[in-house]
Amino acid sequence: MKTLKVLTLSLVMLATFGTAKAVNLKTDNEVLTVNYAVNTYINALMHGQINDLSAVIYPNAKFTMLRGNKMLSFTKTDIINWVKENENLEQECTTSTSVRESNSDLTVVKIDMRYTTFTRTNYVTLTNAGDGWKIINVYSVFK
Q: Is the pLDDT of residue 5 over 70?
A: no
pLDDT tier for residue 32 given thresholds of 50, 70 and 90: confident
Computed over every residue of the chain, the mean pLDDT equals 83
pLDDT value at position 130? Answer: 86
Q: Is the pLDDT of residue 75 over 80?
A: yes
Strand order in the sheet with 94-102: 70-75, 57-67, 133-142, 119-128, 106-114, 94-102
Q: What number of residues does the chain have?
A: 143
Q: Is the pLDDT of residue 9 over 60?
A: no
What residue ranges define each of the domains in the chain, with the CATH number in brackets? 28-142 (3.10.450.50)
Which tens digit of pLDDT belongs to each residue from 81-94? Answer: 999 999 999 999 99
Q: Is the pLDDT of residue 4 over 60?
A: no
107 CB-contact burial (10 Å; exposed 0-12 / middle 13-18 / buried 19+): buried
Give the Cβ contact number of residue 139 at 10 Å.
15
Q: Is the pLDDT of residue 114 over 50?
A: yes
43, 83 Cβ separation under 8 angstroms: no
pLDDT value at position 131? Answer: 86
**Whole-prediction pTM value?**
0.76
Q: Is the pLDDT of residue 18 over 50?
A: no
Mean pLDDT of 21-43: 70
